[in-house]
């Protein structure tokens, strides 16, 4: 597997830990969107796209956040998370690498592209191409 394209969208607030969003293309055939570049204690790391975990209310079946105490639909008390963990998982990855070597390959490609995008952003007339879908439609008109 090769990371054949990385698109970066830099965040405006440099004081925030979230540095950028990105999308990667694998082998020129498969795109993964909404990866996050987060500034960690040991440098930037890549967070995979994820979704918030929800639980259903036993009374009305309304979906509520995992840590909710009461249902947003009917107001009934929702059972506490009995997972036994002190910090329950709030999010689950939608897509993620299977092994460390794959994660390192993706992270290296994204960090290289991030550095290049930051350099381009300092140039006059800089335009972010993260959301530029015209290239995608030109390559595949049936989309």
> 82: which DSSP letter?
-
Dist. CA 138–CA 71, nearest whole Å: 47
> 88: which DSSP letter?
-
Dist. CA 76–CA 46, nearest whole Å: 38
Q: 10 Å Cβ neighbour count for 81?
A: 15
Specify which residues 40 forms β-bridges with.
43
- Domains in the chain (CATH in brackets) are 1-49+94-143 (3.30.1120.40), 51-92 (no CATH)
Q: Which two tokens stand for residue 43?
A: 């440098």
pTM tops 0.85, yes or no = no
Backbone angles phi, psi at 116, to 5 degrees: -65, -40
| pLDDT tens-place values along the chain, 143 residues long | 999 999 999 998 767 899 999 999 999 999 999 999 999 999 899 999 999 888 889 899 999 988 888 999 999 998 765 554 445 678 888 999 999 999 999 999 999 999 999 999 999 989 888 876 545 445 555 54
Count how many Cα atoms sit within 13 Å of the Cα of residue 37 in the half-sphere of its side chain.
27
């Amino acid at each position: 597997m090769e990371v054949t394209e990385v698109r970066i969208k830099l965040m405006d607030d440099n004081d925030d830990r979230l540095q950028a969003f990105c999308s990667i293309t694998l082998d020129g055939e498969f795109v993964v969107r909404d990866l996050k570049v987060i500034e960690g204690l040991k440098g930037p790391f890549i967070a995979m796209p994820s979704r918030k975990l929800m639980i259903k209310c036993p009374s009305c079946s309304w979906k509520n956040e995992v840590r909710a105490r009461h249902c947003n639909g009917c107001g009934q008390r929702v059972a506490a998370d009995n997972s036994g963990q002190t910090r329950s998982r709030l999010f689950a990855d939608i897509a993620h690498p299977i092994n460390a070597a794959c994660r390192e390959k993706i992270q290296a490609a994204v960090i290289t592209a991030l550095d290049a995008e930051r350099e381009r952003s300092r140039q006059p007339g800089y335009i972010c191409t993260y959301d530029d879908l015209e290239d995608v439609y030109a390559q595949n008109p049936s989309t």
